[in-house]
Amino acid sequence: MSIFSKTYNLVKSNFFEDFTDMHCHLLPGVDDGVQTMDESLKILQNYENLGIKKVWLTPHVMEDIPNTTEGLKNRFEELKNSYKGNIKLFLSAEYMLDNLFVARINNNDLLAMGKKGNHLLVETSYLYPPIDLYEKLMDIKNKGYFPILAHTERYLYMDEKQYHKLKDMDIIFQLNLMSLIGFYGKDAKENAQYLLKKGFYDVTGTDLHYIKALKSINKISLTKKQLTEIFRLKNPL
């Protein structure tokens, strides 16, 4: 293998030592992620083995999965009472920019993230943006929050011009680590590599939904330049 094509395994590079996972679906039985407490605990044990220190649990909140803030908090307490490890667990959510979100933000009924509790993880459809995408993002900012656009690379309707427009609005870009090895398809992989090369990403996470996906995390290998950029995203907020 040529030195120009050499890659480095993300796990063996100790990337996950003291890592903060900003996006995952480990809160059991609340969305399309982990379904049982036992699986959540097994994943957290694997996280400990990797060296991960902090985890933001970000269950879906959308019209199709209308989780309530109170319900998520109750389930979170159950997980904390069951988990006996050393990882610090925090509760937030991944909000679809739909009508339910509009109602929630108008009522200040949100689970924000970050040390100051002023960041919101949001998403859209992968194929079509909301008609008023930019207006919704500005509404979030006007409410005093910093929008984090989940898995920015997966929105197939976006192009280079839109990426630049969002960055000009100071929208925070979040990378799904497994996008870099094609876990979500060729287009998402190419978009992720482009955004990483441009230095557009601000935070990263696993977006882990089930225990079998841990195998894919172990397979992530990157070039030296990619690895350097990824390390910048370890402990963002």
Residue 2 lies in a domain: no
The predicted-structure confidence for 83-108, as pLDDT tens digits, reads as follows: 999 999 999 999 999 999 999 999 99
Residue 117 lies in a domain: yes
Cβ(189)–Cβ(156) below 8 Å: no
Residue 109 lies in a domain: yes
The predicted-structure confidence for 6-19, as pLDDT tens digits, reads as follows: 999 999 999 999 99
Q: Could you give the CA distance from residue 220 to residue 13 in angstroms, rounded to a whole number?
A: 11
If one counts the domains in the chain, the total is 1
Q: Which amino acid makes up residue 78?
A: E
This prediction has a pTM of: 0.96
Cβ(91)–Cβ(68) below 8 Å: no
φ, ψ of residue 12 in degrees (nearest 5): -70, -20
Q: Could you give the CA distance from residue 101 to residue 62 in angstroms, rounded to a whole number?
A: 7
Q: Which two tokens stand for residue 106?
A: 């108008």
Residue 84 lies in a domain: yes
Angle at 66 between CA 65 and CA 67, to 5 degrees: 100
Query: What local confidence, expressed as pLDDT, does residue 2 receive?
Result: 42
Q: Could you give the CA distance from residue 104 to residue 88 in angstroms, rounded to a whole number?
A: 27
CATH no. for residue 112?
A: 3.20.20.140
Q: Which amino acid makes up residue 94?
A: E
The predicted-structure confidence for 217-228, as pLDDT tens digits, reads as follows: 999 999 999 999
Residue 1 lies in a domain: no
Mean pLDDT (whole number) for 183-206: 97
Query: What local confidence, expressed as pLDDT, does residue 1 receive?
Result: 39
Mean pLDDT (whole number) for 190-216: 97
pLDDT bin (cut points 50, 70, 90) of residue 180 is very high
DSSP secondary structure code for residue 152 in this structure? G
> Bridge-partner residues for 90, per DSSP?
56
Domain, as residue range, for 58: 8-231
CB atoms within 10 A of CB 37: 17
Taking all residues of the chain, what is their mean pLDDT, rounded to a whole number? 96
CB atoms within 10 A of CB 206: 24
Share of the chain above pLDDT 70, in %: 98
φ, ψ of residue 173 in degrees (nearest 5): -100, 130
The predicted-structure confidence for 50-78, as pLDDT tens digits, reads as follows: 999 999 999 999 999 999 999 999 999 99
Whole-number Cα distances in Å, 40 to 63, 215, 219: 25, 16, 21
Residue 143 lies in a domain: yes
Is the pLDDT score of 165 beyond 80? yes
Residue 3 lies in a domain: no
Q: Which two tokens stand for residue 169?
A: 């609005």
> Bridge-partner residues for 89, per DSSP?
55
Residue 181 lies in a domain: yes
